[in-house]
């Protein structure tokens, strides 16, 4: 009997060791696959005519199959392969900018778009009712309609509020957004349990923010009175990242948090810290680049390969491994995809819009 128990224990131990090894191997392969996807963004070149004019808030889906934009206050989704609009929300009545779609964002790893939609509360014409939805799209060559799914009502959304920033951490199922109402601003979080809470202090305003997709940590440009800092929210706790009033959050990518130093409307320095699960106050910032890039009325993002991209109406400035290059844009309106790989150029053509998509 003892021999049988000994043999059983030995084989049980061997089985556990083999399972652990298999799981470790699979996990490493998944991580490699995730890194491969992150480091090799999809690239596409095409020219297409989109019905409509005055398009704003241009956003392209992760796999470059769909284009989201706003026209006359209505959210529309254009299918590149079928060359037609495949989804549209109603135009807000009387061009009321506090009604209809307030904000939207493609998820960074699939053809799913989340959006906030506001309408008058049926119980009172003076109250706003804001809801969160998601649009999940099929393969671009399919004719089936997207799955337009209601998720929840944002009960404490300020009446007449305007969403200015929206970021999502997909791996942690955390969503952050800022709401401007009058002279006040509210920073809100929605967690995996659909709980909504306010994070910022009274009278604190946020210029820009970025969320870690690995840990869900939120980094913000905080202004409280005359004090400007970069603050991180980690498990409900506030951490001071930089007290330099000239430092601004640029984005997070490839395990790094990117911070720019801006003086006299020029970006003069690029700094980074490691994106960690546990943060300390006032971490040491590593300088990655110094120079001068016009930053007034400019947009910034971090590309999939860790390049810093700053662009205004006509010029794209790209810093890669400490080296700067510039690209001139030709459209009437110009945008960069969230992964930094695609240049989106829009030109007016009567009642239509010509879109030129090419690798950056």
Identify whether residues 200 and 160 lie together within a single domain: yes
Rounded mean pLDDT of 286-312? 95
pLDDT on residue 42: 72
Identify whether residues 197 and 78 lie together within a single domain: yes
**CATH number, domain with residue 184:** 2.130.10.10
Residue 37 parent element (H or E) = helix 2-39
Identify whether residues 271 and 254 lie together within a single domain: yes
User: pLDDT tens across 157-179, in order?
Assistant: 988 899 999 999 988 889 999 99
Cα angle 208, 319, 307; round to 5: 65
CA distance 84 to 185: 38
Q: Domain tally for the chain? A: 2
| DSSP SS3 for 23 | helix
Q: In this structure, what token pair is assigned to residue 357?
A: 């998509």
User: pLDDT tens across 304-317, in order?
Assistant: 999 999 999 899 99
Does residue 108 have a pLDDT over 70? yes
How distant is the alpha carbon of residue 174 from its chain centre? 12
Residue range of the domain that includes 74:
45-359
Contacts (Cβ under 8 Å, ≥6 apart) of 234 = 215, 217, 278, 279
pLDDT on residue 1: 54
Does residue 9 have a pLDDT over 90? no
* Range from 62-71, 123-132, 344-353 carrying the lowest mean pLDDT: 123-132
Q: In this structure, what token pair is assigned to residue 224?
A: 């409280």
Identify whether residues 102 and 230 lie together within a single domain: yes
Identify whether residues 61 and 31 lie together within a single domain: no
Identify whether residues 148 and 25 lie together within a single domain: no
Q: In this structure, what token pair is assigned to residue 126?
A: 């003076």
Identify whether residues 29 and 145 lie together within a single domain: no
Rounded mean pLDDT of 267-278? 96
Strand partners, 100: 118
Identify whether residues 3 and 147 lie together within a single domain: no
Rounded mean pLDDT of 79-104? 91
Identify whether residues 68 and 112 lie together within a single domain: yes
């Amino acid at each position: 009997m003892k021999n049988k128990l000994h043999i059983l224990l030995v084989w049980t131990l061997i089985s556990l060791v083999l399972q652990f090894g298999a799981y470790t191997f699979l996990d490493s392969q998944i991580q490699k696959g995730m890194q491969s996807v992150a480091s090799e963004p999809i690239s596409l070149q095409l020219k297409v005519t989109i019905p409509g004019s005055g398009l704003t808030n241009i956003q392209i889906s992760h796999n470059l199959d769909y284009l989201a934009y706003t026209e006359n206050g209505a959210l529309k989704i254009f299918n590149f392969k079928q060359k037609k609009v495949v989804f549209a929300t109603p135009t807000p009545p009387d061009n009321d900018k506090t009604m209809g779609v307030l904000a939207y964002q493609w998820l960074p790893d699939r053809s799913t778009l989340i959006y906030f939609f506001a309408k008058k509360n049926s119980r009172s014409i003076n109250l706003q009712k804001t809801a969160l939805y998601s649009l999940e799209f099929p393969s671009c060559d399919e004719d089936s309609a997207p799955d337009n799914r209601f998720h929840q009502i944002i009960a404490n959304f300020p009446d007449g509020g305007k969403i200015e920033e929206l970021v999502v951490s997909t791996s942690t199922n955390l969503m952050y957004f800022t709401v401007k109402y009058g002279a006040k601003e509210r920073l809100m979080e929605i967690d995996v349990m659909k709980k909504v809470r306010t994070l910022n202090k009274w009278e604190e305003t946020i210029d820009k923010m970025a969320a870690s997709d690995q840990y869900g940590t939120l980094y913000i440009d905080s202004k409280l009175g005359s004090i400007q800092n970069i603050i991180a929210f980690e498990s409900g706790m506030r951490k001071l990242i930089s007290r330099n009033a000239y430092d601004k959050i640029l984005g997070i990518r490839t395990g790094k948090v990117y911070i720019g130093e801006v003086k006299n409307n020029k970006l003069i320095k690029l700094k980074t810290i490691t994106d960690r699960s546990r943060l300390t106050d006032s971490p040491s910032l590593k300088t990655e680049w110094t120079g001068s890039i016009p930053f007034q009325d400019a947009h910034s993002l971090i590309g999939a390969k860790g390049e810093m991209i700053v662009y205004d109406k006509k010029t794209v400035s790209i810093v890669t491994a400490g080296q700067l290059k510039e690209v001139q844009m030709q459209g009437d309106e110009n945008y960069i995809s969230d992964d930094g790989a695609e240049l989106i150029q829009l030109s007016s053509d009567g009642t239509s819009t010509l879109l030129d998509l090419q690798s950056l």
